[in-house]
């Protein structure tokens, strides 16, 4: 039985278009009555082609239904988000004939951060993301919108225990890289090629002590300013793209 989340609305034109083009199931689409211009026309055309029910509602009804202000006149109702197992992520790497490249999020609480991280991971070719079931953001409509629809194109596993998940990845041959401000090594001086899992910690507290001990090595990002921490999504982008750069280089050699 796959774990599911029951937040079933996707809002905003780009997010709904991404959803339609991904071929995922959509129960129905609601549009504001009279909205027939721009990308709404494209949404309506694809919905008709895929025989998805489209319901027009007046603006007041739509505003009551919307979970965010900027829903842009369109709301898609979807089946609950389907999480996968860790094995499914590893199999994705095998299918692509690539070294596994996995992101492990140790307690990201802000759905906007989670959405941004998913977007970065998907564009960087990460095979999947592991998130905890408790005390962390799960995939909902805010995450979907912030990810610009990237949640539809990347596998996400939701686990009870992050340390156990890391152990599973190690047994599958991955090296685990943690991010920690207290360590001495800068991220660009670390070999990030081969089968790799990168751990990103909570926005305020960073990586938990137990998880930190389970990492094979720790890296940090240089901090030159007065503020001594970066947004979690920005940190992810910096370290993940260093790994991308190194992997491209090693494939050329």
- Domain CATH for 13: 3.30.1330.30
- Domain finish residue from 81, 108, 139: 81
- Lowest-confidence pick of 140-144, 219-223, 227-231: 227-231
More confident residue, 22 or 73: 73
- Domain finish residue from 81, 113, 133: 81
Structure confidence at residue 228 as a pLDDT band (50, 70, 90)? low
* Bridge partners, 37 (sequence order): none
On the question of pLDDT at 219 being above 90, the answer is: yes
The answer on 173 and 124 residing in a single domain is: yes
The answer on 239 and 150 residing in a single domain is: yes
- Which one of 58-72, 130-144, 190-204, 214-228 scores highest in mean pLDDT? 190-204
The answer on 47 and 97 residing in a single domain is: no
Q: Is 204 exposed, middle or buried (0-12, 13-18, 19+ CB in 10 A)?
A: exposed
| Mean pLDDT across 115-132 | 97
**pLDDT attached to residue 175:** 98
Mean pLDDT over each residue of the chain, to the nearest integer: 91
Of the candidates 242, 181, 229, the residue with the CA atom closest to the CA atom of residue 203: 229
Number of domain units in the chain: 2
**pLDDT attached to residue 253:** 66
CA-angle at 152, arms to 146 and 155, nearest 5°:
105
The answer on 88 and 43 residing in a single domain is: no
* pTM higher than 0.95: no
**pLDDT attached to residue 22:** 81
The answer on 12 and 122 residing in a single domain is: no
Q: How far apart (Å, rounded) are the C-alpha atoms in residues 145 and 48?
A: 23
The answer on 189 and 71 residing in a single domain is: no
The answer on 199 and 74 residing in a single domain is: no
**pLDDT attached to residue 105:** 97
The answer on 121 and 65 residing in a single domain is: no
| Mean pLDDT across 120-130 | 98
On the question of pLDDT at 210 being above 80, the answer is: yes
The answer on 223 and 103 residing in a single domain is: yes
On the question of pLDDT at 3 being above 90, the answer is: no
| Mean pLDDT across 108-119 | 95
The answer on 115 and 74 residing in a single domain is: no
- Domain finish residue from 81, 101, 126: 81
On the question of pLDDT at 5 being above 70, the answer is: no
| Mean pLDDT across 76-101 | 93
| 153, two tokens | 């194109």
Q: What are phi and psi of 231, to 5 degrees?
A: -55, 140
The answer on 88 and 75 residing in a single domain is: no
On the question of pLDDT at 21 being above 70, the answer is: yes
The answer on 104 and 53 residing in a single domain is: no
Task: Let me know: does 176 contact 199? Beta carbons within 8 Å.
Answer: yes
More confident residue, 103 or 148: 103
Domain range enclosing 15: 4-81
The CATH number linked to 236 is 3.40.1280.10
């Amino acid at each position: 039985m796959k774990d599911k989340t029951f937040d079933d609305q996707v809002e905003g034109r780009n997010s709904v278009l991404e959803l339609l083009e991904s071929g995922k199931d959509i129960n129905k689409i609601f549009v504001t009555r009279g909205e027939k211009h721009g990308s709404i026309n494209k949404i309506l055309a694809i919905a008709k082609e895929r025989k998805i029910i489209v319901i027009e509602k007046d603006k007041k009804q739509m505003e009551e239904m919307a979970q965010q202000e900027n829903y842009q006149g369109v709301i898609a109702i979807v089946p609950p988000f389907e999480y996968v197992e860790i094995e499914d992520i590893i199999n994705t790497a095998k299918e692509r004939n690539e070294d596994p490249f996995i992101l492990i999020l140790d307690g990201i609480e802000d759905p906007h951060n989670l959405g941004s991280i998913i977007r970065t991971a998907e564009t960087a070719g990460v095979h999947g993301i592991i998130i905890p079931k408790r005390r962390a953001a799960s995939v909902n409509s805010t995450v979907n919108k912030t990810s610009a629809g990237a949640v539809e194109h990347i596998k996400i596993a939701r686990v009870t225990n992050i340390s156990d998940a890391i152990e599973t990845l190690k047994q599958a041959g991955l090296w685990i890289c943690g991010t920690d401000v207290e360590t001495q090594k800068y991220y660009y001086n670390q070999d990030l090629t081969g089968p790799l899992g990168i751990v990103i910690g909570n926005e305020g507290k960073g990586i938990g002590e137990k998880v930190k001990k389970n990492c094979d090595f720790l890296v940090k990002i240089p901090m030159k300013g007065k503020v001594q921490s970066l947004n979690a999504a920005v940190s992810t982008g910096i370290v993940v793209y260093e790994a991308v750069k190194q992997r491209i280089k090693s494939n050329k050699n």
